[in-house]
Amino acid sequence: MSNSEKSGILRKATWRTGFLMAISVCALTLVSAGPLAQQVGPVSILVWAASSFVGFIQVLIYSELAGMYQNETGGMTMCMGDAFDRWSHWPTTIAQWSYWYAWIPVMGIMPILMAQYLNQMLGTNFSPFLVGIVVLMVLFVINYFGIHVSEMGQLIITGVSLLPLVVMIVVAFAKGLLSFDNLLPFKPFGSWGSFNNPEGSWTSLISWLGIGAAFYIASWGAYAFETITVYVGEYKDPVRDTVKAAWSSGTAVTIFNTMIALALVGVLGVKGFADNPDYPFYKLSEAILGSVGGKVALFIIFMGLFSMANTAFNGTARILYGMSEEGTNLKQWSRLSPNGFPYVAAIFNIGFAIFLMTFKVPVKIIAASNLAYMICIFMPLFAFVILRKKRPNHPRPYKLPDFFVPIALILGLFNVFLIVPGAAYYGAEVMLTGSIITLLIVPLCWYRKKFQDKPTTVSTDRPKELDLDG
């Protein structure tokens, strides 16, 4: 019996589970494609394509780490302890908490957006707060009965939400609705977040800072299919299922994100949705599908947001569970339902999401949480490099070619750099907020070690392993 099964997590998931959870992140494109086009113009298509491809390469690197630590649940940050724990457990602990903080705003944002689209779709005036609570309760019921039940629900939701978008893209190309004139001049805007100054330049510093800030925000959605690593401890065949989920979801998300952005800008042109960049897909569907397209688009986006909320609901609960098992967060998060779902962690997440729903959440909240996301993205990349040198003979059921080592280092540094234009664009206040919430794990971990564990029997270090390196 595996360690994960001993601790209560059951191996019932397959690569299809990870794939279905992962491709739902395309719903994040629906949320941010308009603002990114406002920020950098037609170049946003290139930003989405490039950032999705970077995410694809990264998830392959994370898959090697996952293969080395097959019993870990909670994502790629749970697989990096051996790289840093020689010096301190804090880098790993902070990265793991950052992963939770990066995902938890989705649970607060998506239900509110769903309520807004529901009201537009039905012509009603339901309370977004109450609708959001109902959505969270439905998600809890679906997931309480285990990942295999959630997988079936996710299959239905993903099909309903993404297939119509595929139809829209195909129809747009088949009817010749995409005008390449809308993509020209293909250069970044000359000022940040303004449709009024499109005359940018590839040699302008302000334009490149805008592109960097666009990459910073796009990464929150374009990288997000790394969520496949959250379920490593639940896959029936952890190595094979992780790799298949990585390749399938990486290919699908890269293509899909690019096509969505291309259709949006190519059919409407940036000026076509300048009056309301936050909800451009209503106009896009009308342009492609006719007068009924607006209602179709609202339903598509509604279901896509529900799918994305389910992905975040699953992932955040398992992140807290994994940290609890590691001894770096509260003990309560490790309690499981009879079907292996971390229900106590999920209840805490619901409470936190309801707290977020009491506010009108701006894009700056996403920008603040994305600081934490950058931390949990680049640190496993550096861990990959360190472990290739520190433990070269450690069994790697899935091993990438050696040239991925410098690639991982370059991508890690690239993601560190993205924080700079992100900070410049969104301001010091946003970054300070993100930093404070990221560091909240310090008192939580201290409380676990000081009061919940006996100092004489508990260590935050991983158990010693056999020296497999010879």
DSSP per-residue codes, 430-463: HHHHHHHHHTTHHHHHHHIIIIIS-TTT--SSPP
Percent of the chain with pLDDT strictly greater than 70:
87
Output the pLDDT for position 348.
93
In this structure, what CATH number is given to the domain that contains residue 192?
A: 1.20.1740.10
DSSP 375: H
pLDDT greater at residue 196 or residue 438: 438
Rounded Cα gap, residues 202 and 180, in angstroms: 19
CA distances (Å), origin 122, targets 116, 134, 243, 297, 462: 10, 17, 42, 13, 53
pLDDT greater at residue 318 or residue 388: 388
306 pLDDT above the threshold of 60: yes
465 pLDDT above the threshold of 60: no
Rounded Cα gap, residues 246 and 48, in angstroms: 18
Return all residues near 260 (Cβ < 8 A) that are at least 6 apart: 26, 29, 30, 33, 48, 165, 169
Rounded Cα gap, residues 78 and 242, in angstroms: 15
Whose CA is closest to 97, among 427, 446, 409, 454? Answer: 446
Q: Dump the DSSP string for 285-299.
A: HHHHH-TTHHHHHHH
Could you read off the pLDDT of 354-413 as tens digits, one per residue? 887 876 545 667 778 888 899 989 999 999 999 999 999 988 989 999 999 999 999 999
Output the pLDDT for position 198.
61
The whole-number average pLDDT for the span 433-460 is 80
Could you read off the pLDDT of 109-121 as tens digits, one per residue? 888 888 887 887 7
Q: Is 355 exposed, middle or buried (0-12, 13-18, 19+ CB in 10 A)?
A: exposed
Whose CA is closest to 152, among 294, 31, 274, 17? Answer: 17
Mean pLDDT score of the chain: 83
Q: Does residue 128 belong to any structural domain of this protein?
A: yes
Output the pLDDT for position 43.
93
Q: Does residue 461 belong to any structural domain of this protein?
A: no
Output the pLDDT for position 197.
57
Percent of the chain with pLDDT strictly greater than 90:
30
Q: Does residue 464 belong to any structural domain of this protein?
A: no
Rounded Cα gap, residues 71 and 79, in angstroms: 9
Rounded Cα gap, residues 276 and 293, in angstroms: 17
13 pLDDT above the threshold of 90: no
- Token pair 């990942």 is at which residue? 147
Token code pair at residue 317: 């609960």
How many structural domains are present in the chain? 1
β partners of residue 235: 13
Could you read off the pLDDT of 287-300 as tens digits, one per residue? 888 877 777 777 87
Rounded Cα gap, residues 444 and 343, in angstroms: 19
Return all residues near 159 (Cβ < 8 A) that are at least 6 apart: none
Model-level pTM? 0.82
pLDDT band at 330 (very low <50, low <70, confident <90, very high): very high
Q: Does residue 465 belong to any structural domain of this protein?
A: no
Q: Which domain holds residue 155?
A: 3-452
The whole-number average pLDDT for the span 153-181 is 79
Q: Does residue 148 belong to any structural domain of this protein?
A: yes
Output the pLDDT for position 58.
96
Q: Does residue 149 belong to any structural domain of this protein?
A: yes
Q: Dump the DSSP string for 378-417.
A: HHHHHHHHHHHHH-TTS--SS---TTHHHHHHHHHHHHHH
Please answer whether residues 342 and 336 qualify as being in contact, where contact means their C-beta atoms are separated by less than 8 angstroms.
yes
Could you read off the pLDDT of 235-270 as tens digits, one per residue? 888 889 999 999 999 999 999 999 999 999 999 998
Rounded Cα gap, residues 388 and 379, in angstroms: 14
pLDDT greater at residue 158 or residue 212: 212
Could you read off the pLDDT of 334-345 as tens digits, one per residue? 898 887 789 999
Q: Does residue 459 belong to any structural domain of this protein?
A: no
pLDDT greater at residue 198 or residue 186: 186
Return all residues near 219 (Cβ < 8 A) that are at least 6 apart: 51, 54, 55, 370, 373, 374, 377, 415, 418
Q: Give, for 54, the enclosing helix (H) or strand (E).
A: helix 43-68
310 pLDDT above the threshold of 90: no
**Hey, is 122 helix, strand or coil?**
helix
Could you read off the pLDDT of 48-105 as tens digits, one per residue? 999 999 999 999 999 998 888 887 766 687 778 788 877 888 888 898 899 899 888 8
